Amino acid sequence: LGGSITRALQQMSNATIIDEKVLNECLNEITRALLQSDVQFKLVRDMQTNIKKIVNLDDLAAGHNKRNIIQKAIFNELCKILDPGKPAFAPKKGKPSVVMFVGLQGSGKTTTCTKYAFYHQKKGWKPALVCADTFRAGAFDQLKQNATKAKIPFYGSYMESDPVKIAEEGVERFKKENCDLIIVDTSGRHKQEAALFEEMRQVSEATKPDLVIFVMDSSIGQAAFDQAQAFKQSVAVGAVIITKMDGHAKGGGALSAVAATKSPVIFIGTGEHMDEFEVFDVKPFVSRLLGMGDWSGFMDKIHEVVPMDQQPELLQKLSEGNFTMRIMYEQFQNILKMGPIGQVFSMLPGFSAELMPKGREKESQAKIKRYMYMMDSMTNEELDSTNPKLMNESRIMRIARGSGRQVRDVMEMLEEYKRLAKIWSKMKGLKIPKKGEMSAL
């Protein structure tokens, strides 16, 4: 996809006269590429119309960077499609919320339910899992296994065949137990489709979810729109999670799911493991969709915010792919030095959504300082190590004592390190573009 878009734009910028015909040819080429990436036809067509409105041919003829203007327009249009205009319902810690998961069999619901619960548990929530899939043999066992591994309370039955009853009982029980995030996993398969949607409607009616999440496999392709719409018609879908983003699919179906449900994507699944779960971030997703890699925006940002004299060294470290604590420390230092954190929050995809949520810059800054303070109690060996096993209990306790913090604070800092190291490791072997060489596509 990236290749053909680049080619289309190249052809266009080589043309001496950019007229309607050249722009159309370019847009048609891009349309083909997006369709191949499973973006729905109607969305692509609308986008094409919008771009034509935005891209003023007179401006282009006047010597502006044509490629850049069109690239930006395409990028922005795709980002816009992913923004339904209103955020998803956000459960509040300490206040009971019911979250129901829907989606076809195999989409990753059960796995994602646990990831979602685990993610919140790590942040101090009290989640619980309810298995309302009585259709598939082994469904309860699967949920039970996942839940046990993550030490999350669960509810289900081998005997009861009525999913509505189990859902209702489970939700009731966990409300009594003061759980603040009650997650209802549902079935995705039925002998008749109509029966599945009727079942979803009934489970929803019985459990009164605050949020219904539609789970979609990223490789589903053009079927995404109809599927999402079908669920939306039977239950009040309010958010989307895209799974299996670790695979080959670029996830163009996400655009369809957002369009069909008018709900935002909130997380993506990036593997089978419990912690392979990330807050959804629009820009890197669109970059990937356009074949830009998740990193082009990041590289631009580095050129923009990292002091010039430090760039070569940082990029060298990036391409080596080894993210040490010391590098994290240096990056934190950079961030704090750069002044208002708001300006640099989008420096790194991982940094932006998790560590530095928009609007909470003050808190983020305090957190970074706290982390750095703890790192001040680390030895050189620890700071320069790339061996995750090095940080054993006694070292963690020593750091906690040395910085006057709790063991759990040190653990949190180490978790953050691990998360960033994982993102960082994807940069390994990166070909480092020089400033100005970094074209968007």
d(CA 175, CA 410): 32
User: Which partner from the list ligand GDP, Mg ion, none does 160 bind, CB cut-off 5 to 8 Å by kind?
Assistant: none
Q: Give the strand order in the sheet containing 237-243.
A: 154-155, 127-132, 181-186, 97-102, 211-217, 237-243, 265-269, 277-279
Cβ-contact 395, 291 below 8 angstroms: no
Q: Is the dihedral of CA 51, 56, 61, 62 positive or negative?
A: negative
* 243 touches Mg ion (CB under 5 A): no
Tell me how far the alpha carbon of residue 63 is from its chain's centroid.
38
User: Which partner from the list Mg ion, ligand GDP, none does 108 bind, CB cut-off 5 to 8 Å by kind?
Assistant: ligand GDP
Describe the chain by its helix, strand, coil percentages, rounded to 5: 55, 10, 35
d(CA 221, CA 99): 26
- Nearer to ligand GDP among residue 272 and residue 437 (C-beta): 272
- Nearer to Mg ion among residue 109 and residue 126 (C-beta): 109
Element (H, E) at 254: helix 253-261
User: Which partner from the list ligand GDP, Mg ion, none does 107 bind, CB cut-off 5 to 8 Å by kind?
Assistant: ligand GDP
Close Cβ partners of 193 (under 8 Å, ≥ 6 residues apart) = 230
Min dist CB 247 to ligand GDP, Å, is 6
- Which pair of tokens denotes residue 300? 């631009």
* 110 touches Mg ion (CB under 5 A): yes
Identify the residue among 37, 40, 110, 263 touching ligand GDP (CB under 6 A).
110
Question: Which span sits near ligand GDP by CB under 6 A: 6-14, 72-80, 196-204, 268-276?
Answer: 268-276
Question: Which span sits near Mg ion by CB under 5 A: 106-114, 191-199, 214-222, 316-324?
Answer: 106-114
Min dist CB 182 to ligand GDP, Å, is 18
- Nearer to Mg ion among residue 144 and residue 395 (C-beta): 144
DSSP category for residue 353: I
Cβ-contact 122, 110 below 8 angstroms: no
Site map for ligand GDP, 271-290, x if CB under 6 A? xx------------------
Site for Mg ion in 244-283 (CB under 5 A): none
Instruction: Report the residue number whose CB is nearest to ligand GDP.
Output: 269
Identify the residue among 127, 269, 284, 350 touching ligand GDP (CB under 6 A).
269
* 112 touches Mg ion (CB under 5 A): no
Close Cβ partners of 7 (under 8 Å, ≥ 6 residues apart) = 29
- Nearer to ligand GDP among residue 76 and residue 105 (C-beta): 105
Cβ-contact 111, 269 below 8 angstroms: yes
Cβ-contact 403, 373 below 8 angstroms: yes
- Nearer to ligand GDP among residue 138 and residue 339 (C-beta): 138
Identify the residue among 19, 59, 205, 246 touching ligand GDP (CB under 6 A).
246
d(CA 296, CA 172): 48
Question: Which span sits near ligand GDP by CB under 6 A: 74-82, 109-117, 154-162, 327-335?
Answer: 109-117
Angle at 97 between CA 133 and CA 213, to 5 degrees: 50
Question: Which span sits near ligand GDP by CB under 6 A: 10-18, 103-111, 122-130, 295-303?
Answer: 103-111
Identify the residue among 71, 107, 204, 364 touching ligand GDP (CB under 6 A).
107
Q: Which of 134, 197, 193, 188 is nearest to 166 (CA)?
A: 134
- Nearer to ligand GDP among residue 9 and residue 213 (C-beta): 213
Min dist CB 217 to ligand GDP, Å, is 8
Largest CA distance in the chain: 73
Site for ligand GDP in 215-244 (CB under 6 A): 243-244
User: Which partner from the list Mg ion, ligand GDP, none does 272 bind, CB cut-off 5 to 8 Å by kind?
Assistant: ligand GDP
User: Which partner from the list ligand GDP, Mg ion, none does 156 bind, CB cut-off 5 to 8 Å by kind?
Assistant: none
Angle at 58 between CA 52 and CA 61, to 5 degrees: 110
Identify the residue among 170, 188, 284, 350 touching ligand GDP (CB under 6 A).
188
- Nearer to ligand GDP among residue 52 and residue 426 (C-beta): 426
* 111 touches ligand GDP (CB under 6 A): yes
d(CA 328, CA 409): 16
* 114 touches Mg ion (CB under 5 A): no
d(CA 48, CA 28): 8
d(CA 208, CA 143): 21
User: Which partner from the list Mg ion, ligand GDP, none does 127 bind, CB cut-off 5 to 8 Å by kind?
Assistant: none
Q: Which residues bind ligand GDP (CB under 6 A)?
A: 103, 105-111, 188, 243-244, 246-247, 269-272
Q: Which residues bind Mg ion (CB under 5 A)?
A: 109-110
